[in-house]
Structure 1
Amino acid sequence: MNRNYLKHEFLITATSRRTIPFVYFITVLLFSYCLIFWPYANTKESFNKKETEDYLDYLEDQQKLWRSIGNTGFVFEWTSINYHKQRGYPVYATNDHNHDLFSGMLKSFENRDFGRMLNLRTLYLQNNPDEYLEDRNLFQMAPFPIKDREHAYHQTMMKYEDYLNKDHPITFGLMYEKTGLQTLQNFLQNYGVYFLLFCVIYFSSDILSRDRKHKAILQGMPLSWYRQLNLKSVSAFLYSMVFIIGVIVVGVLAMTIQFGFGYFDLNVPIMIRQLTFTPEDYSVISLATYLGKTLVVIPLLVILFVRLNIVLSLLFKNEWIVLFISSLLLFSERLYYTRSTKELFGKDISLFPQTYFDFGKIVDGEKNFLLNTETITYAQGILVLLVTYFIIEVVLFIVSLIINKRRFYIVS
């Protein structure tokens, strides 16, 4: 009986007129992301051929100018403030070096020699950290732009040094983080968990309210009310997990076909403390470890929201109200979030479950970095989510006793 009921509920969810259009929409969204948005997305490290050519033309004009005035050595102090940055600076030699460097990167890009290009880019960034630190367009709207630029610089350098130290062939996909595994990593680090959990909320928001259309049949079913709620939860959990696995597999496969699968032994920079904001504050974990520690928490988050939706369904009996309240709880952190928020209602932010809904930022220490704290840890996140799940279970048991099967189906 339990197995048949579970199968029945699973098929109802899968074939629902609410579910099928939503799955089609997510499918279109997924392929748009994998085939259009992410492959052509520009980042700080994206190579712009036109800008590089313009920069090389500029350098050539500058070199002609310096040669015409007979000054190809050091530029000493000038009286005009326009030359402030050139005092005692080997402008000609530096321009000549940069011309060779960027010419090499341009030729490497045109020849698809990304190994040489990565070597040249890494060499340039090692000697020119201001490429990040003085870029006013980078994090210009952030409250701590200098801190964020330093963070981005250290992460970039750690990734590039790792690519160069590994024996893996350097490809476009590897260098620009577009392989299947790197895309999954970026997805989980950038609100991907929120996206998956919203889908879970949508799928499970009507698992009780839809039965009110078949009161006579379901009231007479030889199953206890609490067991019925549990079976519905398991059904929604299984469907949600199948959906999540499908999204991940299809997304990784789509990116793999274009840019390769990637490598599990790549290093993911993690921030272990915030003392000096130098490389000493960073460590690394393997990509396999990062994905494993993040993905293993998703089932806990899924069952947490499924059970929460059961409680809300008993209380409100309307799928749209349930969807709204659960979504509001999911994104509740955004209502009070600032880069300096360390407490909520006088308690440390690490004690609240909504801090850990975007779990991809917990594993690599990014949430600590963004909130300027060190209290948010992986173990603390697991503990808080387990306690939250236990509380929801207790509340559900009590509510199911108050709102029994007869009261749920009869009372409007």
Structure 2
Amino acid sequence: MKKQYFLFQLKRFFTNPKNIGLFALTFILSLYFGLVSVPNRQLIEKVDPYAINGEYRRYTLFLNKATTKIKEMQESKNTHEVPNEGYVNAIKTYPDILNFDKHRINGIKANNWKEYVIYSSKWYKYVDHLIFVDENQQFLYPVQYYQNDNYREDGHFAYQRTAHFYDALAKSKQPLTKNIVEEKTTLQILQNSISGWTTLILIIFVVLFAADIVTNDRKYYSVLKDIPLSKNTILWIKTGVVEIGVLFNYLLAFIVVTLCTAPRYGFGSFKLRTTFYTGRLYFIQPFKYPTLGNYFIQFGTFAILIVFLFIRLTILLSIIFKNEYVAELLASVFAISGKVLYFSLGMGFVYPILQSLPMTYFTIGESLSGNLSYLMDSPGWGFNSGIVPLMLSIVIIEIFMLIISRSKRIKLIRR
């Protein structure tokens, strides 16, 4: 009987007009993402040979001029003449930058991307030190970071992250390409994109899939009212059906995005290294270099737990309120509560309790990249911090589900 009921629920799920609409919407959004959003994504720190060549020529000309002027001043023996600050600064800083740029240009020309990332890392660290530590007014972060009052810290973090990302690539055993350096391969695109609001939208899709899995039984009341299965069994079968539907939906999105991006940029490799921010830039090791394989294992673990949590939560709410729309609303509000309350609005003081709340980790990618630590301005907030709150939330939901399963007063199928 379990098999027949499972197949019946599975057929109903995949023929449900609402679910078909969600599958179609997923396909369209994935297609748009792969064909429009990814190619038009604006990179701040990109491989730009024209900019590097331009900087190399300008700095070389100015350094030659500065050297000549300083030499002339020294030969004139005029003790009252003060050296131009720009000339002094150029003589002090430009030689190192020109050396880095020379190797970066050679790396691009020779398609030697390992040389490029090694010397680009040195360039970013050196220039960042001039801006952030030395407060050298001759150098500035890109204008894209000057969008808010936190531009100095944002630029500092971005330069450090870029430098350490290049260090991570230099340690990778995989051959490097321009697309890998610019994080354009399919795996890197997914890593950087499945975060923030994108993840929350995917969670809301889970809620929409699960909301009517119980209440739709009203349409088949005469057939299902005397089914010889326990409530607990029925609920687990329904959970399994929704999980299959969600998995199908995610696979659909993954296949579409892969077909749109892999032929153009490459699929990437799970052996490539990426970065994880440990919480403080002054730490001895501010960034760790896990492989993409390790990242996606952690991502998959979080995703499985969060999907299961929201399927069971939505089913629970639909039973309690006897209405799928109320269940959708409450579960969706719970999903976005963390982002709305203390990510988007910002916080002056980070309350420690936030690290123990499950909604803090629903954005997944922000936690696993360490970006959540930067947003919260404190260490932690990674995989190890998030796994316990998520597990505890599931346990609490399962306790309520067990109570419902054993209660004779609560019926799953109603007219």
TM range, normalised to the smaller chain? 0.7 to 0.9
Change (3 A) 1:132 1:269: farther
Report the identity percentage. 20
Q: 2:69 matched to 1:71?
A: yes
Counterparts of 1:84-103 in structure 2 under 5 Å? 85-86=85-86, 88-90=88-90, 94=94, 98=98, 101=101
Counterparts of 1:352-391 in structure 2 under 5 Å? 352-391=357-396
- Deviation digits for residues 348-379 of structure 1 (CA, Å, limit 9, x no counterpart): 11221111212223233332232123353423
Change (3 A) 1:259 1:132: farther
Which residue of 2 is the match for residue 240 of structure 1?
Answer: 246
Which residue of 266, 270, 288 corresponds with 1:264? 270
- Out of 202-211 and 358-367, give the one that drifted further: 358-367
Structure 2: distance between partners of 1:120 and 1:144: 28
Shift, 1:130, TM fit: 6.1
Which residue of 1 is the match for residue 137 of structure 2?
Answer: none
Structure 2: distance between partners of 1:335 and 1:363: 20
Structure 2: distance between partners of 1:379 and 1:161: 24
Unaligned runs of 5+ in 2: 133-139
Which residue of 1 is the match for residue 350 of structure 2?
Answer: 342
Which residue of 2 is the match for residue 288 of structure 1?
Answer: 293
**Normalised TM-score (structure 1):** 0.82
Change (3 A) 1:356 1:84: farther
**Normalised TM-score (structure 2):** 0.81
Structure 2: distance between partners of 1:339 and 1:139: 20
Structure 2: distance between partners of 1:393 and 1:302: 14
Which residue of 1 is the match for residue 221 of structure 2?
Answer: 215
Which residue of 2 is the match for residue 322 of structure 1?
Answer: 327
Structure 1: distance between partners of 2:357 and 2:104: 51
Equivalent pair of 1:179/1:260 in contact (CA under 8 Å): yes
Which residue of 2 is the match for residue 125 of structure 1?
Answer: 124
Counterparts of 1:19-168 in structure 2 under 5 Å? 19-47=19-47, 66=65, 71=69, 85-86=85-86, 88-90=88-90, 94=94, 98=98, 101=101, 105=105, 114=113, 117-118=116-117, 121-129=120-128, 133=132, 134-135=140-141, 137-141=143-147, 144-168=150-174
Shift, 1:42, TM fit: 1.6
Change (3 A) 1:135 1:100: closer
Unaligned runs of 5+ in 1: none
Equivalent pair of 2:277/2:369 in contact (CA under 8 Å): yes
Aligned length: 401
Structure 2: distance between partners of 1:74 and 1:155: 42
Shift, 1:292, TM fit: 0.7
Structure 1: distance between partners of 2:36 and 2:131: 27
Which residue of 2 is the match for residue 308 of structure 1?
Answer: 313
Shift, 1:117, TM fit: 4.8
Shift, 1:165, TM fit: 4.0
Change (3 A) 1:165 1:353: closer
Shift, 1:149, TM fit: 2.5
- SS, match of residue 135 in structure 1: coil
Q: 2:11 matched to 1:14?
A: no
- Out of 306-315 and 364-373, give the one that drifted further: 364-373
- Deviation digits for residues 356-412 of structure 1 (CA, Å, limit 9, x no counterpart): 212223233332232123353423422211111111112223345265337x514xx
Which residue of 1 is the match for residue 204 of structure 2?
Answer: 198
Which residue of 294, 297, 321 corresponds with 2:302? 297
Q: 2:395 matched to 1:393?
A: no
- SS, match of residue 288 in structure 2: strand
Equivalent pair of 1:204/1:306 in contact (CA under 8 Å): yes
- SS, match of residue 25 in structure 1: helix
- Deviation digits for residues 78-135 of structure 1 (CA, Å, limit 9, x no counterpart): x999x97516233699399759938974x97688665565455345324322698532
Shift, 1:336, TM fit: 1.9
Shift, 1:54, TM fit: 6.8
- SS, match of residue 199 in structure 2: helix
Shift, 1:205, TM fit: 1.3
Structure 2: distance between partners of 1:362 and 1:80: 56
Change (3 A) 1:118 1:384: closer
Structure 1 counterpart of 2:128, which letter?
P
- Deviation digits for residues 265-322 of structure 1 (CA, Å, limit 9, x no counterpart): 2222223343x53553332222211111121221111111111111111123333322
Structure 1: distance between partners of 2:311 and 2:96: 62
Structure 1: distance between partners of 2:168 and 2:145: 25
